[in-house]
Amino acid sequence: MKRVKVNIPSSLNFPHPYILKSKIIEIDEGIEKGEEVLIINKENKIIGTGFYNPSSYKTLRIHTYKEFKELSYEEIEKRIEKSFLKRLSYFEKDESFRVVFSESDFLTGLIIDKFQQGFVFQINSAGMERKREFIVKAIKNLFDPLFIFEKSDGVGRKEEGLENFKKLHYGKFQNPYLIFTEGLNFLIDVEEGQKTGFFLDQKINRLKLKRYAKGKICLDLFCYTGAFTIHFLKEDAERVFAVEISEKALNLLKENVLINNLPLKKVTLICGDVFEKLNEIKKLKIGFDLIINDPPSFTHKKSKRERALNAYKNLHSDIFEIMNREGICATFSCTQAVGINDLIENVINIQKNKNFKIFIKDFLFQSPCHPISLYFPESFYLKGLVLEKE
C-alpha cells in the first residue's frame, strides 16, 4: 500500500478523520483518486488507513485508526453488520432507521438507510465510490432486501469531484414507497425526494412532540411530506397549518393524511417560501399552540454562520409573535455551524425587549440511529429546543 506522510503529533491517537492538504508532508508517487493509503506521521508512526483524494480539501479520509487495513468486501460487510446490530438496542429489526452513518460507523462517505425491507444508500467519497459493488453485495447478503436503491446526489459528492448518480441495484419497488413506521403509514419519495426520502434523524423527536398536539392549533414550518403533521393529526390536533416550498412534497403530505384515514379538512396546506408565508400568516391573526421550526441547513460553513443566525432571528421573531401564551415551539438546527448555545442566544436576544418570557422546556437531538462520535464533531449536527411562551 502506498503511503502519505502527514504533520500530526505522535501523541494524537485519534485525529479528526479528515486530514487537509495543508497537513500533508510527503506523498508516494502514482496514488490515484479514491485509492486507499497508509497514513503515517513524521516519526513514521502509523496513524491509520484512509482514502486519498487530491480533488478535495478533505484530502485524506481515515476509515481505520492505528493499523493498515483495507476495506475489503469482508471488512465492509462486517462493519455494516456491526452498525446494524448496534441499532437493535433502540429499534426493532423491521423498523425504519439509519443503518450506517458514515464516519460514526467507520465507513467514511457512506450512508445506508433502511426503510423496512428496502434499502437506500448514498456514497459521498471518492474512496467509497470504488467500493460500490462491495456495498451492494453486503446489503444483499446481510438483509435479503426487497430492493437496494442508490441515491448519491448530495453536496458532498461535488466537494469530492464526483457526479451525481442514481441506480436501482437490486429488486424493485413502487415510488413513492409505502412504509409503516412510528405507528403510521408514510409514502416516501425515494427517487426524487430530499436526502434518502424521509428524515429518520427526527424519529424520536416526532414521538416526543406529538404529545403536545391534542386539541391544539399547530403550525408545521418546512414540513416536507408532513411527518410531524401526520403525528399531530393522529393525536387529534384541532388544526394543522403545513408550510413547504415544494408543491410535490405537499401533494405527498396530502396522500399521507389520506392513507392514515386522518381528516384532511383539519389540514391547511401552504405552498411557498416559509419566510414570506410567515408574513401572510401573521395577517390572519391566528394564535398557534404548537409550532415546529425545522429549516434546512442554512450553511455548513462557520464562515457563513452569521447569515444563518440572522435567518433564525427572523424566523424566531415571527414565530413568537404568532405563538399563544403557554404555547410550545420546537426549533431545530441541522448544521454543526449553528450549535445549541447559538440557538439559545438567538432566542434570548429576541425576547429581551418583548412583553413575554420564553423558557426552555426540553432539549432535542438526533435519533440514536445517527450516533455521535466525539472524534468526529460534525456527527453531532441535529439540535433542538422545546420553548414555552409565558
Q: What domains, with CATH codes, occur in the chain?
A: 3-65 (2.30.130.10), 73-173 (3.30.750.80), 191-389 (3.40.50.150)
pLDDT band (50, 70, 90) for residue 300 = low
* Predicted local confidence at residue 302, as pLDDT: 67
Q: Which long-range contacts (CB under 8 A, 24 or more apart) does 173-177 make?
A: 173/118, 173/146, 173/147, 173/149, 176/252, 176/255, 177/115, 177/118
51: pLDDT confidence band, cut at 50, 70 and 90?
very high
Mean per-residue pLDDT, 298-302: 72
- What does pLDDT average to over the chain? 96
CA angle 102, 168, 109 (to 5 degrees): 15
Query: Around 119, how many Cα atoms within 13 Å sit in the side-chain half-sphere?
Result: 26
- Give mean pLDDT, residues 349-368: 93
Look at residue 298 in the predicted model and tell me its pLDDT. 83
Gyration radius of the chain over CA positions: 22
Amino acid making up residue 234: K
Q: Span 181-207, mean pLDDT?
A: 97
Min mean pLDDT across 20-34, 192-206, 300-314, 373-387 is at 300-314
Q: How confident is the model at residue 226 (pLDDT cuts 50, 70, 90)?
A: very high
Residue 326 pLDDT grade (very low, low, confident, very high; cuts 50, 70, 90): very high
Determine the pLDDT at residue 299: 72
Overall average pLDDT of the 107-114 stretch: 98
For residues 253-267, average pLDDT = 98
Give the residue from 327, 335, 263 showing the smallest Cα distance to 292.
327
Half-sphere exposure of 296 toward its Cβ, with a 13 Å CA cutoff? 10
As a whole-number percent, the residues of the chain with pLDDT over 90 amount to 93
pLDDT band at residue 336 using 50, 70 and 90 as cut-offs:
confident
Model pLDDT, residue 13: 87
342-357 residue pLDDT tens: 999 999 999 888 889 9
| Residue 11 pLDDT | 86
Of all residues in the chain, the percent with pLDDT exceeding 70 is 99
pLDDT value of residue 292: 98
